[in-house]
């Protein structure tokens, strides 16, 4: 994590603020700017200031989202590790009507052992495509 962002104490931006910011960014991009030499673009400058004042809550929301993503990645890695231990790494052997002869799967859906091998990255071949 970024130590500067960690020092921010704002409340994370809510969806309404995100929407307002998106609206302001679009407005800044699309409004008619004054021609060169005709003075300052005060409307644009005001929008830019308004946006800048609200970046703290945005950065806090980003920080929280990144933390949740890192935690989810760690949790998924743990689940893949358990899945690797629980699943059979022998390839599926598909029979009639979607059954897997290797693992005794008769539900007519993708064999969970084959799905597990794809999820843990041991195979990139969907179970349905494994040789019969
Ligand atoms: Zn199988």
- Phi-psi domain of 11 (left: phi exceeds 0; alpha: psi -120 through 50; beta: other): beta
- Determine what percent of the chain is predicted with pLDDT higher than 90: 70
The answer to whether residue 21 scores a pLDDT higher than 60 is yes
Distance 87 CA to ligand 1 centre (A): 10
Distance 82 CA to ligand 1 centre (A): 18
> What is the per-residue pLDDT for 125?
66
pLDDT confidence band for 109 (50 / 70 / 90): confident
Q: What is the DSSP string of 16-44?
A: HHHHHHHHHHHHHHHSPPPPTTS---HHH
Give the burial class of 30: count Cβ atoms within 10 A of its Cβ; 0-12 exposed, 13-18 middle, 19 or more buried.
exposed
- Determine what percent of the chain is predicted with pLDDT higher than 70: 93
How far from 75 is each of 45, 61, 67, 70, 71, CA to CA, in Å? Answer: 44, 21, 12, 9, 6
pLDDT 10s digits, 27-51: 999 988 888 888 888 999 999 999 9
pLDDT confidence band for 94 (50 / 70 / 90): confident
Distance 23 CA to ligand 1 centre (A): 51
CB 11, CB 60: distance < 8 Å: yes
Q: Which residue is listed with tokens 């703290």?
A: 56
> What is the per-residue pLDDT for 132?
38
Distance 112 CA to ligand 1 centre (A): 7
Q: What is the pTM of this model?
A: 0.71
Q: Which residue is listed with tokens 């358990």?
A: 82
């Amino acid at each position: 994590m970024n130590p500067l962002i960690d020092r921010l104490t704002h409340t994370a931006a809510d969806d309404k603020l995100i929407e307002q910011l998106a609206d302001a960014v679009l407005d800044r991009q699309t409004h008619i700017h004054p021609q060169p030499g005709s003075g300052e673009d005060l409307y644009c400058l005001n929008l830019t200031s308004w946006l800048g004042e609200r970046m703290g809550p945005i950065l806090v929301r980003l920080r929280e989202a990144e933390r949740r993503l890192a935690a989810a990645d760690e949790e998924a890695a743990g689940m893949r590790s358990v899945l690797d231990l629980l699943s059979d790494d022998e390839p599926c052997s598909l029979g009639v009507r979607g059954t897997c002869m290797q693992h005794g799967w008769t539900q007519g859906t993708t064999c969970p052992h084959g799905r597990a091998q794809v999820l843990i990255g041991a195979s990139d071949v969907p179970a349905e495509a494994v040789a019969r």
